[in-house]
Structure 1
Amino acid sequence: MSPDAFNAFCRALPATTHVVQWGGAHVWKVGGKVFAIGGWSDDGAGVTFKVNDIAYEMLKDRPGLRPAPYLASRGLKWIQHYEKPGLPAAELKDYLRQSHTIVAQGLSRKKRMELGLAVPAAVRRAD
């Protein structure tokens, strides 16, 4: 995925913000929390995203994917797509979308409401 495609996709997700940090990485956040990191250099590219426990087990040993350096070593469930074959673009987008959802669901109900993010029906109170 090119930097432009990555940034356009992440920008289209609800309530996202973007910052370039950590030596030029494109960091995407929802509610101030990171859900995706993209980095490109002459040595290659990497797209890093948060996953659930099941996806982590399914993806961590696939060719072109690995537990995300630094994050996974601290017990966090993050995967890095770092070389081919990796994931097809459509599947990578699905995982980026899921990462956004996982992170957004971890925000407080108040924060989700401030950002205009749907509050899951399971936590809504009957009026």
Structure 2
Amino acid sequence: MSLFTRSGFEAFVQGFAGITQVDQWDSRVAKVGDKVFALLTDGEHRLTFKVSEESFEILTSLRGVSQAPYFAKRKWVSVEPDSELGEADLMEYLTRSYRTVSSSLTRKLRAELGIVE
């Protein structure tokens, strides 16, 4: 399963509680509580997700990883399929992105979505 394919991306993010997936911005977008935490662009098959400030500095220094267009101010990265990051690393970063974004939701909404703290 490659996260850079629509089926692989969808299968992986579907494992998180309370998510929805929509087609938006020429991408497959994963949201939790209407907040984006990851997306896969249709044409370029790039993964885009939110990272911590420290991870942003480290990741954007790697081959195949750059600041995400329109998202960079908020510490989002865009990853090409031939980047230095392996599949396990990408899964970990997507999980962290989900946790970061879902933690910003209200306690009530997290409970409604079945998100366990």
Considering the TM-score relative to the shorter chain, is it more than 0.5?
yes
Structure with bigger gyration radius: 1
* Alpha-carbon distance between aligned partners in 2 of 1:2 and 1:86, rounded to the nearest angstrom: 17
Give the structure 1 partner of residue 69 of structure 2. 69
- Identity over aligned residues, as a percent? 37
* Alpha-carbon distance between aligned partners in 1 of 2:60 and 2:92, rounded to the nearest angstrom: 16
* Alpha-carbon distance between aligned partners in 1 of 2:64 and 2:101, rounded to the nearest angstrom: 24
Residue type of the partner of 1:78? W
Assess if the C-alpha contact under 8 Å between 1:65 and 1:83 holds in 2: no
Question: What secondary structure does 2:61 align onto?
Answer: coil
**Which runs of 5 or more structure 1 residues have no equivalent in the other structure?**
120-127
Give the structure 2 partner of residue 113 of structure 1. 111
Query: TM-score scaled by structure 1?
Result: 0.84
The one-character-per-residue Cα deviations of 1:12-60 (angstroms, maximum 9, x if unpaired) are 111110000112x00000111000010132xx32000001111111101
Give the structure 1 partner of residue 24 of structure 2. 21
Give the structure 2 partner of residue 125 of structure 1. none
* Alpha-carbon distance between aligned partners in 1 of 2:6 and 2:88, rounded to the nearest angstrom: 15
* Alpha-carbon distance between aligned partners in 2 of 1:107 and 1:77, rounded to the nearest angstrom: 18
Question: What secondary structure does 1:48 align onto?
Answer: strand
Instruction: Please tell me the root mean square deviation across aligned C-alpha atoms, in Å.
Output: 1.2
Work out which of the residue numbers 8, 11, 14 in structure 2 matches 1:8: 11
**Which runs of 5 or more structure 2 residues have no equivalent in the other structure?**
none
Paired positions, count: 114
* Alpha-carbon distance between aligned partners in 1 of 2:81 and 2:22, rounded to the nearest angstrom: 24
Work out which of the residue numbers 98, 101, 115 in structure 2 matches 1:100: 98
